[in-house]
Structure 1
């Protein structure tokens, strides 16, 4: 049997009043019954990342700030990523963009999916995030989870439980997890083959 993939579920907002932990907990529940994926919460608030201030990306030289290095080591542990992102003014949060910029080597050749929320389901934020992910040599999967419209109003503004909209978004979540697993296995095998070739 193939070893389960280790996937980070990254909270992409750091505001005190953020909604992100609520759908993140729901996403953890969707993955809990699967034996092909080990989904682990990673909260940007735990890393106190400075604004990117390195001489260059770590694709070209090691980072100097120990907070950036700690972030790189943490995300480097994973075979892929699911990012929970809000939509701020048609894009991702500043904290999430900064987190992407603080690494390069660790992101590369791994799949990434998105659980987004906003007026149009966070679709514009995901659009930007996918372009960033491609530049970082990640593999954005096709499926995503989008909480928008009346579902967004229900769980964000009215603070109804995620169970209220579960039936609307659960199929997309499982499709995204399936795609993360497929690409996660493919890219992990390729990275391992590359590592063997350089030994």
Structure 2
């Protein structure tokens, strides 16, 4: 079965992203056409990138990098849940993306964003990052303005339109994740202490 990670990108105390990620996971689990799991960047305790070798080499020296690598590599696609900080994505999410390379390659990516303008400007940045990491980003997006989707700007109360947009996003991410599997032969990727199924080392 296709496996999709719901990547929760904010690590901020009191973050609004947690109920959003839980909503995405709950709605996705109702479908039955793919397996979904929340992947919370905060759970991995990643410091600012501290690997001496570029991630494209897959030679990791830190235990936290190896743990993050294994977690990310296990999925066929990702739905990134991100807030908008100063017209871009949270620093913790960018840092987590930068830690790896081949683990992201040839996989589908979708975006659920929130913020004063629905997080749309953050996603524009995130799409360019995803492209460089060789992820195929789908067109559909769920944008959640704080004024309309969060009661009192704090309590997440998704609208009917948000629910509909999420289903479209899920359709596209699952379809693209399945289509891209042919580009990921089951070859071994050396990551030091771990051996992961992934693309050729080149």
* 5+ residue gaps, structure 1: none
2:130 to 122, 133, 144: 133
TM-score by length of 1: 0.89
Deviation at 1:61, TM superposition (A): 4.5
Structure 1 equivalent of residue 173 of structure 2: 180
Q: Identify, as 1 or 2, the structure richer in helix.
A: 1
Structure 1 equivalent of residue 77 of structure 2: 80
CA RMSD, 1 decimal: 2.1
Check 1:182–1:9 CA distance in 2 against 1; reply closer, same or farther (3 A cut). same
Q: Identify, as 1 or 2, the structure richer in strand.
A: 2
Aligned length: 191
Give CA deviations for 1:51-99 in whole Å, capped at 9, x if unaligned. Answer: 1122232212502111111101110000110011000000000000000
Q: Counterpart of 1:171 in 2: which secondary structure? A: helix
Deviation at 1:196, TM superposition (A): 11
* 5+ residue gaps, structure 2: 188-197
Q: Counterpart of 2:139 in 1: which secondary structure? A: coil
Give CA deviations for 1:115-164 in whole Å, capped at 9, x if unaligned. Answer: 10011110010000110000001111110110015314xx16444452xx
TM-score by length of 2: 0.87
Counterparts of 1:98 and 1:75, CA distance in 2: 14
